[in-house]
Chain A
Amino acid sequence: MIRDPNDLQRYTASDRVIHWIVGICFILAGLSGLALFHPAFWPFTLLFGSSTWTRILHPYFGLIMTLSFLLMALRFWQLNRMNQIDWAWLRRVGEMVDGDDHNMPEQGKYNGGQKLLFWLLLFGTILLLFSGIVIWRAWFHFEIGQVRLASVVHAAVAAVMIGLIMVHVYASIWVKGTIRAMWYGTVTRAWARQHHLAWYRQMLGLGNSQPR
């Protein structure tokens, strides 16, 4: 669909598809994992057919999530390399949270927070993968000490990642005009200018563009 021709393309169709595959798997793995983590979330087992089905399916959700996230990371990692400006942005993130983002350091396609989130999620996914394999009794048999350690690592890393994703989702709700980038790929020029000035200049060929 061609909508406003002035809009800027932020994500291609395949970017969006892989992101949503990761997102769906994260929600499924998250809900099924929470059900096995704390009895308060036990009712989530009803979403997956039964409690036993929840136990059977959870590792597969995680596996598909890991593989698709690694595929996504392969696409995006170069855009997420941290530089000095990103760290300066992160040091001043309080100003933005406080409601004024007009004096924030100029950002490329991703700001420091998005980049840091990317690396934390990548690191967390790898930890979840390895700890998950160790506690996956349907297929693997590890030594008891390793299983105990992996159980703690798996739960702790998953809780941190759920927290990170909650921040990720809230940021997209808070910053108006953001979610459409992941629905149909484009953002308005004004959105780009306000939140990612360097990327905006680069997209419009305005010169004076910072490294992204």
Chain B
Amino acid sequence: MTDQAYNFAYLDEQTKRMIRRAILKGVAVPGYQVPFASREMPMPYGWGTGGVQVTAACLVPEDRLKVIDQGADDTTNAVSIRKFFQRTAGVAVTEATTAASIIQTRHRIPETPLHEGQILVYQVPIPEPLRFLEPRETETRKMHELEEYGLMHVKLYEDIARHGTIATSYAYPVKVEGRYVMDPSPIPKFDNPKLSDSPALQLFGAGREQRIYALPPYTQVVSLDFDDHPFDPSKAAHDCDLCGAAASYLDEVIIDDQGGRMFVCSDTDFCRGRREAGHVGALGVPLAEGGM
């Protein structure tokens, strides 16, 4: 049921048009951060206002929306954002990655491969990959203009010199089509390979920082590394205890006060799908028997 007091998907059409222009510019220049006149949304900055504005500008009544936070459909903020669009746009929702036409995400890329026609919308806190090396926006924009990324390479090199490895585990910087260095949002670096050559359109919205950027389908995205220290998309050395998946990203869950813990898929839709297909992990029980 739509809330009639507001326009479709909350924002007025002028605002949506302004956001769509920024998105189109972002698609035309992959990885470039397009400034846009971000609006104050009815949820706080930091809760995904950039992603919400991008989703609002993309939604049409025929869409089927999925919202995840930390890979899960039922985390509180994912529930809240999904409800917001059910209320203001009345669109259909789903938890199934394959059934969704738009997926808004915070901190993960779904395990199930995306397909053509889908849009993946990322919530971005700090869009500037160089921000923690240079706090001034006036400087970092110049560095992007001049393709001056030496500072980033020095930082990665210093990591290796000090720790023997690159000490960045999430929001791991990437280079887009050999041009712009881009922040992939705080996804674990395990997800970085999924950014590249994806059949889906990937859009990134940073509300507080007033930036939108994009990866059109089949864009080449390379995680920064060195020849002798190649990028390593590591994850916990476990299988999912519920579905047995060996290659999905895992959450570590503390289950008692004796140091006991279990590892489960962070992508809840992926995990449920595997269990419905009969896969059972070390601590799981077959779904047919009504277990967790």
Q: Specify whether A and B are partners.
A: no
Residues in A lying within 8 Å of B, measured CB to CB? none
